[in-house]
A and B are shown apart, each in its own frame.
Chain A
């Protein structure tokens, strides 16, 4: 029963959003605004809360099972401290909330990404081999791109710059364009299948 109701709701909202695209009438605009701000945004925010609560539940369960207690505890402490700081001192300019973001979250998060620089270097040594013609094409294209962005004024070979810009703007762009068109066709058919109820995997279990 709930599956049938959900399918009908999905189809109604899908058809409605599709039809609203073609209308400039003030009523159509008002409905679009209501769906996007009142329904879409609000439900998405509730989904975020579900995610945060799940994070707490997973960690509390792990602590109860005595798994990684100090790590789980510090994770929970970090999670709980942010709302507490926001409620206590706000989220503006000199708030502790922003301080934690700028001095704890942002430095760590960007450093986690910086680790990738090292793994890229290691992969270049161990995995980037001209084993076949396509692999050689990939390698040459990457080398031209990197070399062209490694020199400074008047020392860069104009041939290298021209070659790298041409590679990016024509053959590389053409392949990316085909991928975009392919993804577009896939998204289009998936959206239509969702609206008409052929695609039902998102409904999950049988109840």
Chain B
């Protein structure tokens, strides 16, 4: 067994000790994980964005158009002190403004319009029989939207619609719970497989 597998196995067991209760071994592993994860993200972002997109073209190829992004980036460091934190508003404004501007067409077209049009299906098929599933989708979308409509009190027809919407939401939460269970179990199975096969050699 290689050294890496031994370390990985011991750290896996250290995290699993949390199932009994919080303890120093778990806490040590937890802090190590957070530290390593921050260091990892820093390295990857530094290499891909700072070196490849900023420093190499700016200082290596003399692309002076990058001077302004560099200054804006450095203004982010204003956040280190309460007195200077106001200067980080400008680079933040670039991020927030660009994100908002790009989001408007993305939300309007592929999100809202396409999803609405996807719900509008013929309610009678070519064979003349009613399309019950299509009807369920239309009723489900409208009633769930009614449930989230808070500008009027949920009474009368809106109350009925929002109640039906609750049932659709419950079906969605149920299916999602089912898939969440699958997902979480898969994650544990993956770790159990590592422990049983690679670390303890109990299975093939």
Using a CB–CB distance below 8 Å, which chain A residues touch chain B? 2-3, 5-7, 9-18, 20-22, 34-55, 57, 68, 70-72, 74-83, 86, 91, 97, 99-105, 107-118, 120, 124, 133-135, 137-146, 149, 164, 166-185, 187-188, 190-192, 194-195, 202-205, 207
Contacts and interface: CB of A to CB of B under 8 A. Distances in A.
A178 B112 CA distance: 10
Contacts, number: 400
A84 to B, nearest CB: 9
B77 A188 contact: no
A99 to B, nearest CB: 6
A104 B8 contact: yes
B76 interface: yes
A62 to B, nearest CB: 11
B111 A184 contact: yes
B129 interface: no
Interface string B165-176: 111111111111
Contact of B93 (A13, A111, A141): A13
Given A10-B100, A178-B145, A202-B96, A110 B187 contact: yes
A42 B95 CA distance: 10
Determine the main DSSP class of B at the interface with A: helix
A130 to B, nearest CB: 11
Determine the main DSSP class of A at the interface with B: helix
Given A42-B54, A177-B115, A180-B111, A79 B35 contact: yes
A140 B18 CA distance: 32
Contact of A188 (B4, B7, B46, B112): B112
A110 B92 CA distance: 32
B122 interface: no
Contacts of B107: 184-185, 187-188, 191
- Give the most central of B28, B115, B188: most A CB within 10 Å: B188
Contact of B188 (A22, A118, A168): A118
